[in-house]
Structure 1
Amino acid sequence: MTSSTEQDLTLPVPLTLKGHYTAQQFYQQHSDPQKAKQVYLNTLAVDAVCSYLGWLGIATNLQASDSWNPTIQALADVADLEIPGQGKLECRPVLPGATVCRVPPEVWSNRIGYMAVRLDADLQTATLLGFVPSVDTEELPLSQLQAIVTLLDYFKLQKQPEPIKEWVNLGQWMQGVFTGGWQAIEELFEPQPILSFRSLELSSHSGQAGLTTRGKLLELTPQLDSHKVALLVGLMPNHLCQVDIWVKLCPMGAAPYLPEDLEVKVLDEQGIAVMQAQSRQTDMLQLKFRGASGERFSIEITLNDISVVETFVI
């Protein structure tokens, strides 16, 4: 029998046909029966939490969740749900009669919290049992869970106002006025051999009059590793009364190549990616495009969970 107190602290969520269909699709992609069952249950738990947050008007992104990626499913026991602007919420399934929630070590970090989700015996209903912001044990006693409402309060505490964008004015660059933090290429690569600098020049246009280039050091630090890369931006007016723009990423220090999976995107003013490139341990990434005076765009550099965005106005 369930007490009235427990009913107040938990929340039943119907498991949908769509959720079962998705779980079955993932199930069929794994030949190992134990892994297939694990993925099926994880998928139902994530789908239940996604439905609950949807009722509350909280946006989620299943496609960006590791639990929705069959390759990652095969490598790890993951049941995460990506919540834009917040991070990943781990949704751990709990079987009927269990008194603990199993949380594998591979998901003890890079999570904004953990939701325990009890699946009933016929997999028709999921019950959201409670939430904790962090774990350090494989078996979390259900008695230690906080009420579900604390998750919503936690979201409010974690939500920070978005910083006001400081647009880098490229029109001022062409007049010799440069934004703080952006260095002449020679200064940026000063500790390195001059031959290295010459090999990083933006293009064959680098010797032409009217070309303006500046660079910025970026430090991307996912977990214990530290990766330093140089973001180079070059611009030159063309005969169409527009500006040709180059964006280049180069390794810094002793590293001969860019980190694997480093990605660079050019975003329009609405934040939509219009160009992108990804490193496969290459020694350079470069994008070239054209813009008109007054247009705004952003450059987003991403490595694992680290993202840096620079915003520009022409």
Structure 2
Amino acid sequence: MSSTETLYLKIPLGREAHAIARQFALEQTTSQKGKQIYLNTLAIYTVYSYLKWLQIDTALEKSNSWHPLKRAFFDVTDLVIPNIGKLECGPVRPGETAIYLPPEVMKNRIGYVAVQFSERLQEADLLGFVRTTTISITSEQISLTSLKPLNFLFDYIPNTVTHPALRASQIQVNLSQWFENLFENSWKALEEIFGNINEKKFALRNISSLGENSVARAKIIDLGLQLGNQSLVLLVAIALFSQQKVEILVQIHPLSEKLYLPSNLKINLFSDAGKIIQEVVSRSNDNFIQLKRFRGDFGESFHIQVSYGNFTIKETFVI
């Protein structure tokens, strides 16, 4: 789940976002208004992209900010969340310490999200959220120090944050069944994931060292916006060590055309009680990372957690 202690969430701004912002800016009668609309549009699109990735419905076309006349006459950055209300997406330029609130955005809002841009507008940080009820209606600005983590926004959107990258897996992967060739649907044969596994010969050599009776499966995982929608592969291999124990190997690979993992990608092994047993962090030019091989008894559970930035995916396994 995304951390409640980290305020910053980085979102890439691609060609589509800039194309829409440019189109809206060119419609304006002055360059100053055009620049304002450009940043406003990028701020809205940043929040829209984030909520879309979380599988939260929005209605850009019903927002005042997406209406040609309303955005021309008013300084609005609203984003409609159907059946919930309007969320204001306040742009924050580098060096600014507050969100500035024009009079037209101080009513009929569920709250405000602060969006701060990089110098070249290639990405934006979602700094946090503040509810309308917690600020004075006469305020003309919101200090960035008063922002809460984005998790507070989801109080308004119950039971809608279902993206797998935001919650631990509710399903236990039964590893003992793998020895009987019974696999969960999301866990695929290595050939299905990697194609020509000879290209992974060095990384997969450790799997073959488990023995002829080892079983290996892989699952594609997605850390979404934090990785620019790059997917990763979680690989788990098991082998009988004794009548009571199973030996386990866990690796993380980039998917398909990507040669290397992103730096600072983290993989953790947790006991069933939540104690960290192992941790490995990727470096630049790592084409895979792996935990040290470990053993567990039949019936024992453990957790594998993959983290990057603010996002975490956790898988629960029972032997």
TM-score, length-normalised on structure 1?
0.52
CA contact (8 A) 2:115 2:127 kept: no
> For each residue in 1:84-104, what CA deviation from the matched residue of structure 2 results, as whole angstroms up to 9, or x when unmatched?
xxxxxxxx988xxxxxxxx78
Aligned to 1:175: 180
| Residue 271 (structure 1) aligned to one of 268, 271, 274 | 274
Aligned to 1:285: 289
Residue 299 of structure 2 corresponds to 294
When residues 214 and 223 of structure 1 are mapped into structure 2, their CA distance, relative to the original with a 3 A threshold, is closer
Q: What code does the residue aligned with 1:173 have?
A: W
Q: Could you report, residue by residue, the CA deviation over 1:13-61 in whole angstroms, capped at 9, with x for unpaired residues?
A: xxxxxxxxxxxxxxxxxxxxxxxxxxxxxxxxxxxxxxxxxxxxxxx96
2:276 partner amino acid: A
- TM-superposed deviation, 1:197: 3.2
CA shift in 2, pair 1:202/1:292, >3 Å? farther
Note the C-alpha offset of 1:270. 3.1
Deviation at 1:131, TM superposition (A): 7.9
Look up the match of 1:238: 241
Structure 1 residue aligned with 2:171? 166
Residue of structure 2 in register with 1:37 after alignment: none
Residue type at the aligned position of 2:156: L
Shift of 1:164: 7.3
Aligned residue type for 2:183 = F
- Residue pair 1:300, 1:308 contacting (<8 A) in 2 also: yes
Structure 2 unaligned spans of 5+ = 9-95, 99-113, 119-123, 162-166
Tell me how far apart the structure 2 counterparts of residues 172 and 271 of structure 1 sit (CA, whole Å). 24
CA contact (8 A) 1:202 1:248 kept: no
Instruction: Flag the 1:224–1:250 CA change in 2: closer, same or farther, 3 A.
Output: closer
| Corresponding residue of 1:253 | 256
Superposed counterparts of 1:204-223, under 5 Å: 205-206=208-209, 208-223=211-226
* Residues in 1 aligned to 2:304 and 2:172: alpha-carbon distance in whole angstroms: 11
Which has the bigger relative contact order, CA under 8 A and spacing at least 6?
Answer: 2
Percent identical pairs in the alignment equals 25
Matches of 1:279 and 1:180, distance apart in 2: 28
CA RMSD, Structure 1 to Structure 2 (Å): 4.1
Query: In the TM superposition, what are the counterparts of 1:1-314 in structure 2 within 5 Å?
Result: 64-65=5-6, 105-106=116-117, 109-114=125-130, 130=135, 141-142=140-141, 156-158=155-157, 160=159, 165-190=170-195, 193-201=196-204, 203=206, 205-206=208-209, 208-223=211-226, 225-239=228-242, 241-281=244-284, 282-287=286-291, 288-314=293-319
CA drift of 1:200 comes to 2.9
Is residue 249–residue 285 contact of structure 1 (8 Å, CA) maintained in 2?
Answer: yes
- Report the Cα distance in structure 2 between the residues aligned to 1:239 and 1:157, rounded to whole angstroms: 51
SS at match of 1:222: helix
Q: Which amino acid in the other structure matches residue 254 of structure 2?
A: P
Contact 1:202 1:234 survives alignment (8 Å) = no
Moved more, 104-113 or 242-251: 104-113
CA contact (8 A) 1:168 1:179 kept: yes
- Give the deviation of 1:235 after TM superposition: 0.6
1:44 corresponds in structure 2 to: none
Ranges in structure 1 where 5+ consecutive residues have no aligned partner: 1-59, 68-91, 95-102, 117-127, 133-139
Q: By how many angstroms is 1:293 displaced?
A: 0.9
Residues 239 and 153 of structure 1, relative CA distance in 2, 3 Å threshold: closer
How many Å separate the matches in 2 of 1:109 and 1:130? 22
Deviation track 1:222-274 (CA, whole Å, cap 9, x = no partner) reads 25712222111001111362111000011222222111111111122233322
Distance across 2 between alignment mates of 1:164 and 1:152: 19
In the TM superposition, what is the alpha-carbon distance from 1:304 to its structure 2 partner?
1.6
Label 1:306 to 1:104 Cα distance change in 2 as closer, same or farther (>3 A).
Answer: closer
TM-score (norm 2): 0.51
Q: Is the 8 A contact 1:186 1:197 kept in 2?
A: no
Query: Do the aligned partners of residues 155 and 252 (structure 1) sit closer, same or farther apart at CA in structure 2, a change above 3 Å counting?
Result: closer
| CA distance in 2 between partners of 1:178 and 1:293 (Å) | 17
Residues 222 and 305 of structure 1 are in contact (CA less than 8 Å); yes or no, is this contact kept in structure 2?
no
Q: Is the partner of 2:307 in helix, strand or coil?
A: strand
Deviations 1:91-123 (A, max 9, x none): x988xxxxxxxx78259743451379xxxxxxx
